[in-house]
A and B are shown apart, each in its own frame.
Chain A
Amino acid sequence: MTLKGMTRRDALRAGVAGAAASALPLVNVHGQTSGGRLAVGFWDHWVPAGNEAMRAIVDDWSKKNRVEVQIDFITSVGNKLLLTTAAEAQARQGHDILAFSTWLVQDHQRMLEPVDDVMGRLVQKYGKVNPVSEYLGKVGGKWMAVPASSGSQNKGSAARIDLMKQHAGIDVQAMYPAETRLGPGADQWTWETFLTAAQKCNAAGMPFALPAGTFSDATDWIGAMFRSYGAELVNAKGDITIRSNDKVKQALDYAARLFQHIPGEMFAADDATNNRALIANRSALIFNPPSAYAVAKRDAPQVAEQVWHFPSPMGPAGHYTPHLPFFWGIWNFSRAKPAAKALLEHLSQREQVEKLVAATDGYDIPAFDTLTDLDTWSTVGPPRGTVFNYPVKPHHKAEPSIAFAPAPPEVAVQMYTQGIQAKMIARMVQNKEPVDRVLAWAEREVEGFNR
């Protein structure tokens, strides 16, 4: 039985993996997998249908390849997934494959099995990987984990069609239509335009709900804004570039002006505050994946009908949309590495990605360039096509980005979890500190991360 299962897997590997497979140590498979068992910890998708679709795909694969797969869906709520990752790294046991959120591949790089072979084949087939996934998933030029579609998200604009038209005079649906072209006004969708719109909507009692606390919704959009002003706190080489950096000053100055029109309470907002604002018909725009929209569809359908998703604004130094990727990594203590790799490769095929994206109403963003044209994004509604522009598409001329890139990840992750940029803004706006003092403070903080 074991032997039979093994040869079948070999056959599979030969099919998918080609020549690379023959290099894999077969003894390993035979000696340690005990007939092929795989324990997988996936991210617990907030759309339950996402979990079901995943389970169906894996069950199917498991039957075909005679590998027994045990699946756990682990929530990221309450930092559960984070703790689980730390736990398994320390305990050196747990799952074979685990979902790694944003920065965790970097944190646990020495405990992960390189997946260059798998990634090489996937890139050949599906094109380039987006820069954020590459920045977070590669260590020293080697892929340490496979970018996962499941859970990867963008945090572009989710705005009210009616309110933006009525109060700000912007027809967001025309600007970013559900077609592969830009509409009128898209070239003017800058942070300055955004500020004027924020002002008008705030005056009309429908303020933009832009969080500026230490939760990731705040960190992500602020990071994209800084980047589109070219404002780097730490550059790619790891030098601190804060003091007398005009671009940082420019970004801060912009934020100070913008926050004149954002409710003060947003400095204490968490990741649910903006969703609630949109769903409760109290805000014209938030930066969020379509989760807010999906809940609105259930609880407040008349609001959902008016929600349109499109990229965040551009700045003088470029057009960046916040992107938070998930990865699937294989622990180096796993005893079923070949099977784990085969499963990950299977999950990354277009056919599977298509199913997963469809099951989650388009929430998931695949990392590969050629996979941003799936049908789901055109069909979800009402309004039909609301998430068409949710993934970054080639015609947007935008780039997915993560806050604090391209600083070296071990410094960037600390700036990220501490929400340094948001705190700088809070110091400017809430404490009314002069900009030089804010910069000096930030520099001292960042120096501490550089140890």
Chain B
Amino acid sequence: MSGATVAQPADSAPIYHKAGSLRRERRRALIGAYIALAVFVVFFLTPPFHMLMTSLKSSAEIADLSGNPWIVSRPTLENYWALLSQGSYLTHFVNSVMVTVCVVAITMVISTFAAFALARMRFWGSTALATGVFLTYLVPETLLFIPLFQTIGGLGMYNNLWAMVLLYPTLTVPFCTWIMIGYFSSIPKELDEAALIDGANHFQMLWKIFIPVALPGILAATIFAFTVSWAQFLYPLAFLVSSDQMVLTVGIISDLIRGDTFQWGMIMAGALMAALPPLLVYAFLMDYYIAGLTAGATKG
């Protein structure tokens, strides 16, 4: 039993030989694992660290290039304070939250129904549809936004925050549907037959059996949808013009960069604060997330 669990770190460390030197092997593997982790943590966290340091500097200190750029000599919270007390950062933050929440909700409704139908209720063209849904990612936003100007314009939703609620699901729904198709098809079929015999209709079946059983999968899809809509850049850049309609990603760029002058301190502070909601969502839902992806993906 213990042999089996030890073997995994050995995959990335020197090959595991015999059971004799087990303890030493295990410790060596663990040390190897920590070294690998440390290397990647440094790689992954170098830019965020630099962002953090910059966000704590005054603009004069940022402009002064004589010192060490990696440390801050006179830390100040003025950038954070300025963002929160003046300008439209908070408005954009609230807009981002509203759009993201709505998009996640819409995404989940659409893809839960679709995944249920595609996984359980085969109908003419359902296999093709399942594949086709994923293929929509092949049509990039950089191509779509030009024709979409007309579509959105025709709906009278140009420069309207709610147009994002319409557009983002095209980016989230396909992947979420795929995750959930995989998850739903791993639920034993006896369950739904039993339900049908008990006289439940399909909606009751979905509501009472599939959703509770597949909750981790649904959470996984939720988190994916959340990240994608939170970080989306091109559509809001192209479709939102008035400051009161903007979301965070575009708001930061448009408010804090003036021509060729960058307010680096505030940009970095704004970016770090913008990273908080997804980070919190991950912290709370991570374990569900991993469990959810597991079932969805391996079966998908």
- Assess whether A46 is in contact with B259, with CB atoms less than 8 Å apart: yes
- Assess whether A86 is in contact with B254, with CB atoms less than 8 Å apart: no
- Assess whether B261 is in contact with A75, with CB atoms less than 8 Å apart: no
Q: Is B65 an interface residue (CB 8 A)?
A: yes
Closest-by-CB residue of A relative to B59 is A299
Per the bound structure, the CA–CA distance linking A298 and B145 in Å amounts to 39
CB of A217, distance to nearest CB on chain B (Å): 8
- Assess whether A88 is in contact with B261, with CB atoms less than 8 Å apart: no
- Assess whether A76 is in contact with B60, with CB atoms less than 8 Å apart: no
For window 57-72 of B, CB contacts with A under 8 Å fall at 59-60, 62-65
Q: A74-B241, A78-B253 are in contact. Are A300 and B60 (CB under 8 A)?
A: yes
Per the bound structure, the CA–CA distance linking A80 and B254 in Å amounts to 8
Q: Is A118 an interface residue (CB 8 A)?
A: no
- Assess whether B254 is in contact with A91, with CB atoms less than 8 Å apart: no
Q: A46-B258, A78-B237 are in contact. Are A91 and B59 (CB under 8 A)?
A: no
Q: A91-B158, A291-B259 are in contact. Are A300 and B64 (CB under 8 A)?
A: yes
- Assess whether A299 is in contact with B146, with CB atoms less than 8 Å apart: no
**Among B146, B152, B250, B259, contact of A86 (Cβ-Cβ < 8 Å):** B146
Per the bound structure, the CA–CA distance linking A272 and B156 in Å amounts to 37
Q: A86-B146, A87-B238 are in contact. Are A93 and B60 (CB under 8 A)?
A: no
Per-residue B-contact encoding for A70-86, CB less than 8 Å = 1, 0 else = 00111111111001101
- Assess whether A280 is in contact with B65, with CB atoms less than 8 Å apart: yes
Q: Is B239 an interface residue (CB 8 A)?
A: yes
Per the bound structure, the CA–CA distance linking A79 and B237 in Å amounts to 9
- Assess whether B258 is in contact with A47, with CB atoms less than 8 Å apart: yes
Q: A44-B254, A77-B254, A90-B150 are in contact. Are A298 and B158 (CB under 8 A)?
A: no
Q: Is B260 an interface residue (CB 8 A)?
A: yes
Per the bound structure, the CA–CA distance linking A279 and B255 in Å amounts to 22
**Among A47, A77, A95, A294, contact of B257 (Cβ-Cβ < 8 Å):** A77
CB of B163, distance to nearest CB on chain A (Å): 11
Q: Is A41 an interface residue (CB 8 A)?
A: yes
- Assess whether A84 is in contact with B153, with CB atoms less than 8 Å apart: no
For window 260-286 of A, CB contacts with B under 8 Å fall at 271-272, 275, 279-280, 282
CB of B151, distance to nearest CB on chain A (Å): 9
- Assess whether A75 is in contact with B60, with CB atoms less than 8 Å apart: no
- Assess whether B150 is in contact with A91, with CB atoms less than 8 Å apart: yes
Q: A87-B238, A280-B64 are in contact. Are A93 and B158 (CB under 8 A)?
A: yes
CB of B90, distance to nearest CB on chain A (Å): 18
- Assess whether A84 is in contact with B241, with CB atoms less than 8 Å apart: yes
Classify the interface of chain B: helix, strand, loop or mixed: helix
Per the bound structure, the CA–CA distance linking A275 and B62 in Å amounts to 14
- Best-surrounded residue of A46, A93, A291 (most CB of chain B within 10 A): A93
Q: A72-B241, A87-B239, A90-B149 are in contact. Are A78 and B260 (CB under 8 A)?
A: no
For window 229-274 of A, CB contacts with B under 8 Å fall at 271-272
Interface residues of B, CB < 8 Å — how many?
33
- CB-CB < 8 A to B294: which residues of A? none
- CB-CB < 8 A to A294: which residues of B? 261
CB of B29, distance to nearest CB on chain A (Å): 43
Q: Is B203 an interface residue (CB 8 A)?
A: no
- CB-CB < 8 A to B260: which residues of A? 46, 217, 271-272, 275, 288, 291-292
Q: Is A174 an interface residue (CB 8 A)?
A: no
Per-residue A-contact encoding for B146-174, CB less than 8 Å = 1, 0 else = 11011011101011000000000000000
Q: A48-B258, A91-B149 are in contact. Are A75 and B158 (CB under 8 A)?
A: no
CB of B84, distance to nearest CB on chain A (Å): 18
CB of A85, distance to nearest CB on chain B (Å): 11
- CB-CB < 8 A to B186: which residues of A? none
- CB-CB < 8 A to B156: which residues of A? 93
- Best-surrounded residue of B64, B154, B253, B254 (most CB of chain A within 10 A): B254
For window 22-81 of B, CB contacts with A under 8 Å fall at 59-60, 62-65
Per the bound structure, the CA–CA distance linking A72 and B255 in Å amounts to 13
- Assess whether A92 is in contact with B153, with CB atoms less than 8 Å apart: yes
Per-residue B-contact encoding for A306-327, CB less than 8 Å = 1, 0 else = 0000000000000000000000
- CB-CB < 8 A to A80: which residues of B? 237, 250, 253-254
CB of A99, distance to nearest CB on chain B (Å): 11
Per the bound structure, the CA–CA distance linking A272 and B263 in Å amounts to 12
Per the bound structure, the CA–CA distance linking A6 and B146 in Å amounts to 37
Per the bound structure, the CA–CA distance linking A93 and B147 in Å amounts to 14
- Best-surrounded residue of B65, B149, B259 (most CB of chain A within 10 A): B259
For window 186-228 of B, CB contacts with A under 8 Å fall at none
Q: A92-B153, A298-B59 are in contact. Are A291 and B261 (CB under 8 A)?
A: yes
CB of A153, distance to nearest CB on chain B (Å): 9
Enumerate the 9 nearest inter-chain pairs by beta-carbon distance, A residue then B residue, closest first: A91-B153, A46-B259, A46-B258, A90-B149, A299-B63, A280-B65, A75-B254, A77-B257, A271-B260
Cross-chain pairs A/B with CB under 8 angstroms, 16 sampled: A44-B258, A46-B259, A72-B159, A78-B237, A79-B237, A80-B237, A87-B149, A87-B158, A90-B150, A93-B156, A94-B241, A272-B262, A279-B63, A291-B260, A295-B63, A299-B59
Chain B residues near A (Cβ < 8 Å): 59-60, 62-65, 145-147, 149-150, 152-154, 156, 158-159, 237-239, 241-243, 250, 253-255, 257-262
